Amino acid sequence: MIGRTLFWYFFRRYVVFTLQFFVGVMIISYLADFTEFSRRTSDLPNYSIGLAMLISALRVPLIVQTAIPFVILFSAMGTLMALNRKHELVIARSTGVSAWQFLAPLCLASLLIGVLTVVAFNPLAAKALSQAELVEATLHGVDPSSSNDDIIPWLRQQTDEGTTIIGATKTANRGQVLGDATFLKLDKDGSISERMDAKTATLEKGQWLLKDVTQYRSGKEITHSGSATVKSGLTPEFIEESLADPETIPFYELGRKVRAAHSFGLNAGGFAMQYHSLLALPWLLVAMTLIAATVSMRFVRMGQSAPMILGGILAGFLLYVVSVLVKAFGSAGIVPPVAAAWFPVVVAMFFGITFLLHKEDG
């Protein structure tokens, strides 16, 4: 059995590598997001460098959370390669330590990092992203070039004033703030009697508060106003279940959101998929560690095998692509969310374990 001192030595080396990669990814993500956001929004009237820096900083946690599997892959490869270059793994093996024993601290660290990501980092990332969307929607509006009719959310509400169809090109604050919103009022015959375009629309108690409004009425001139209100019987809970981005919901609330969406008769695929993806994340990181081990542990003895290292990177990238693909299937209801979240993880772990058994134990 590997000694306690050696176990924690490998554990610390791996955690240090992971923190270094984590900080590097965070800096690169921030610079890339700030550059792209400034390129898209610098011509807006309220744009400022300070505000762009703030929004990018709020979006970085979610970007880093998305990149964590690759952080684990590269840090595990880096740790094992560094230990090999200094012949520390060779010395450990000469004392009877097996590959599984010195992989145990790395797998444990990956599992703990995954748990910490889910229970602590994810709520922070979700809250930060929600705030970033709110700031962008209320102060910047929406970049017209980013509009896409295929993803515009639409709602239908019924009040004593009649039926109103509500659409928007962007949502924030879990759907309670709409950017570039359109309100279509229908008459008794189902024809459009009035159209109201607003830069932002905020759901308040019993009404929508519209800002920077342009009104179109049949047979009348177009009018502009700073604000207007539209009656609404929609509740914040219904709006949230209908329009909220699952990535803006903290892990602790996702289970309740799934049940609430079902109670409203809405499709809960997105919330369920996000929930099970986060549950599977710690084991996905363990799978990434095993994939890294298949190409890094025998690095010195096989003689600087660059193709093997590249193969590990490609294998990790393929696993990530498959995970994103099946996540889309799960969100759309094509595949059960549980299967979509766990299938890539199980396959990757079986691949890593089988390869290591073949190479290390014959």
Q: What pLDDT is stored for residue 255 in this prediction?
A: 81
pLDDT digits (tens, 9 = 90+) for 107-144: 999 999 999 999 999 999 988 988 887 777 655 444 43
pTM of the model: 0.76
pLDDT digits (tens, 9 = 90+) for 235-246: 776 776 666 778
Beta carbons of 132 and 55 less than 8 angstroms apart: yes
Count the neighbouring beta carbons within 10 Å of the beta carbon of residue 111: 15
pLDDT at 300 over 50: no
pLDDT in tens, 154-187: 778 877 777 888 888 777 776 778 878 889 888 8
In the chain, the percentage of residues whose pLDDT exceeds 70 is 85
- Label residue 149 by pLDDT band (50, 70, 90): very low
Given this model, what pLDDT does residue 302 score? 47
